């Protein structure tokens, strides 16, 4: 983080003033973090759903930035918050993304694995392309600021990254159906990986010769996504094998196993970046694998520590990101001359989100029997709560340097405005919309963990070999879901016993208990 003195040119001659300015700047940031956490706790305690914690953090940043603009300390405060996008990707996003993968518990999420993959991979691709094409067409007919087609696809990729942190806490408070929670959370986790891979692919296409064919674009995407995924999964399995082989589940080795558990995610991130891949995607899948395998090899004290540690740093990082976004809106010089680009982009994003959710839900329901299909009201809820957050903001910040001629600044301004509007307006109205859609209380008045083994909704779809049930597409989708069930059996019978000190049944039961701890 680049902390600058208040006096600009006097910094070299007055190092004492530079240190004082840095101290005041850090103090201000700490005060805003403290205020955000206290205010969030008060709002949550009083069940005030119209102002979620993320929205409160945004408003605090907006207020501080507005006060700085009307005071004589504007230049100093802007200097205190001046940092490059590397700060996001190296210090803020890794703990947030790792915690997302680490929070995935096997039972509810892998029971809906086929649907989650469909929404996060295929759905994100659909949303990115639809958004990019609509923005490009809008520029052609002078509805919006005109951008080249590849840059429109870059914008579509980065703005398709959803971040439902604002609504997940509301889900838990209102008793939303476990499956809907799993779909929203699972989609947001994997969709970040897809969005950043698409953005990097389009950015690479932009920087190279424009004559590349479609197959080269597909190859670059697969190279980035699959390579990063493989690096993350590989590091996760290595950490599990080391912890299992070394027998680290001994109380007097708690310091060693905790240090190794904390270092492996950053090792995964830096390995992927060093190989020219995507560290965010790598650390995400490292978190998923380490939670499922490595975590079981730790002692009970170490399990409690690493869970609390990653939850702590991810909460601090995410809160700081939302504070900075609010502060940035009030302080920085944005391209507000292109308000039409922001307005129509919001409309295009809504259309793209609808194409994503309803088309993917249709495909998922083709492979599921009627009692276990995704209800229409859940589809509407999925469409509405597609908020944008930290990942979209960080990629937009990077686009300022990736795109010339002020195009990146226009995209950054639009993205920041969209994030703020979706978090404040959609996040604040989520509770009311869920009640209107009558999805509140779908959890049958029980906590999320109690319904993990139940047959509510569409957990763990079962498939009947009915010869009259379908066409080839439906049969292919059923085969895909069967392969998911086969992977679950492979994991329970071979992977879990090999990489952990538990058998599959013990691991599943432990996952249910830990999931309840995560959501509460």
Compute the distance between CA of residue 457 and CA of residue 112 in angstroms, rounded to an integer: 11
Beta bridge mates, 252: none
Nearest partner of 271 among 252, 285, 251, judged by Cα: 285
Beta bridge mates, 162: 388
pLDDT for residue 357: 94
Dihedral (C-alpha) 458, 459, 465, 469: value to the nearest 10 degrees? 20
Per-residue pLDDT of the chain (520 residues; tens, 9 = 90+): 343 444 444 445 566 776 776 777 788 888 999 999 999 888 888 878 778 888 888 899 888 888 877 765 545 555 555 555 677 778 888 898 888 888 776 566 777 878 888 998 999 999 999 999 999 999 999 888 899 999 999 999 999 988 766 677 777 777 777 788 888 888 887 888 888 889 988 888 877 655 566 677 788 888 888 999 999 999 999 999 888 776 655 556 788 888 889 999 999 999 998 988 888 889 989 998 998 889 988 888 888 999 999 999 998 988 988 888 888 777 766 666 778 899 999 999 999 999 999 999 999 998 877 777 889 999 999 999 888 887 888 888 888 888 877 788 889 889 988 988 888 888 888 888 888 888 876 554 444 444 433 434 444 444 444 444 445 555 655 555 555 556 667 777 777 777 776 644 444 445 444 544 444 4
pTM for the full predicted model:
0.78
Beta bridge mates, 91: none
Residue 217 tokens, joined = 């674009």
Beta bridge mates, 388: 162
Phi, psi of 257 (to 5 degrees): -70, -35
Compute the distance between CA of residue 191 and CA of residue 185 in angstroms, rounded to an integer: 10
Nearest partner of 308 among 170, 243, 300, judged by Cα: 300
pLDDT for residue 447: 44
Indicate the fold that domain 84-316+340-407 takes in CATH.
Answer: Na+/H+ antiporter like fold (1.20.1530)
- Where do the H-state alpha helices sit in 103-177? 106-111, 113-117, 124-140, 149-159, 165-174
Q: How far is CA 336 from CA 42, 360, 381, in A?
A: 35, 35, 31
pLDDT for residue 513: 43
Compute the distance between CA of residue 78 and CA of residue 213 in angstroms, rounded to an integer: 44
Tokens 């300390």 — which residue? Answer: 73
Q: What is the maximum span of the chain, computed from C-alpha positions, in angstroms?
A: 84
Which residues make Cβ contacts (< 8 Å) with residue 498, sequence separation at least 6? none
């Amino acid at each position: 983080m680049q902390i600058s003195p208040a006096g600009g040119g006097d910094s070299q001659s007055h190092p004492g003033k530079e240190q004082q300015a840095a101290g005041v700047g850090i103090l201000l940031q700490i005060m805003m973090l403290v205020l955000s956490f206290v205010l969030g706790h008060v709002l949550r305690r009083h069940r005030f759903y119209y102002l979620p914690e993320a929205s409160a953090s945004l408003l605090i940043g907006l207020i501080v930035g507005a006060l700085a603009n009307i005071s004589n300390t504007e230049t100093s405060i802007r200097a205190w918050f001046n940092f490059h996008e590397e700060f996001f990707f190296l210090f803020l996003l890794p703990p947030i993304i790792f915690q997302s993968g680490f929070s995935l518990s096997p039972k509810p999420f892998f029971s809906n694995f086929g649907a989650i993959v469909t929404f996060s991979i295929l759905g994100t691709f659909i949303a990115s392309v639809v958004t990019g094409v609509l923005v490009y067409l809008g520029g052609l007919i002078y509805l919006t600021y005109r951008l080249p087609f590849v840059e429109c696809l870059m914008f579509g990729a980065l703005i398709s990254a959803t971040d439902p942190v604002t609504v997940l806490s509301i889900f838990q408070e209102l008793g939303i159906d476990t499956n809907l929670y799993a779909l929203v959370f699972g989609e947001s986790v994997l969709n970040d990986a897809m969005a950043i891979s698409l953005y990097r692919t389009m950015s690479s296409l932009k920087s190279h010769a424009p004559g590349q064919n479609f197959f080269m674009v597909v190859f670059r995407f697969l190279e980035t996504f699959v390579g990063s995924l493989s690096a993350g999964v590989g590091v996760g399995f290595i950490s599990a094998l080391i912890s299992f082989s070394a027998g680290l589940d001994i109380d007097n080795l708690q310091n060693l196993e905790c240090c190794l558990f904390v270092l492996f995610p950053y090792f995964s991130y830096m390995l992927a970046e060093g190989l020219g891949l995507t560290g965010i995607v790598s650390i995400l899948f490292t978190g998923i694998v380490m939670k499922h395998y490595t975590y079981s090899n730790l002692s009970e004290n170490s399990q409690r520590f690493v869970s609390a540690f990653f939850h702590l740093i991810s909460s601090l990082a995410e809160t700081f990101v939302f504070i900075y976004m609010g502060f940035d809106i009030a302080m920085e010089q944005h391209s507000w001359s292109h308000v039409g680009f922001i307005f129509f982009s919001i409309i295009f994003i809504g259309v793209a989100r609808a194409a994503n959710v309803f088309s993917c839900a249709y495909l998922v329901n083709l492979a599921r029997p009627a009692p276990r299909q995704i209800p229409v009201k859940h589809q509407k809820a999925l469409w509405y709560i597609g908020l944008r957050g930290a990942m979209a903001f960080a990629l937009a910040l990077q686009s300022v340097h990736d795109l010339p001629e002020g195009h990146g600044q226009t995209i950054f301004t639009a993205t920041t405005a969209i994030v703020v509007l979706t978090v404040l307006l959609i996040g604040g109205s989520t509770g009311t919309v869920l009640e209107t859609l009558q999805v509140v209380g779908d959890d049958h008045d029980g906590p999320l963990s109690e319904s993990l083994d139940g047959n509510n909704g569409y957990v763990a779809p079962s498939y009947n070999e009915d010869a009259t049930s379908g066409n080839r597409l439906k049969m292919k989708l059923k085969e895909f879901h069967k392969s998911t069930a086969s992977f679950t059996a492979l994991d329970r019978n071979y992977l879990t016993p090999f990489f952990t000190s538990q058998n599959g049944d013990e691991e599943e039961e432990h996952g249910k208990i830990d999931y309840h701890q995560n959501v509460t």
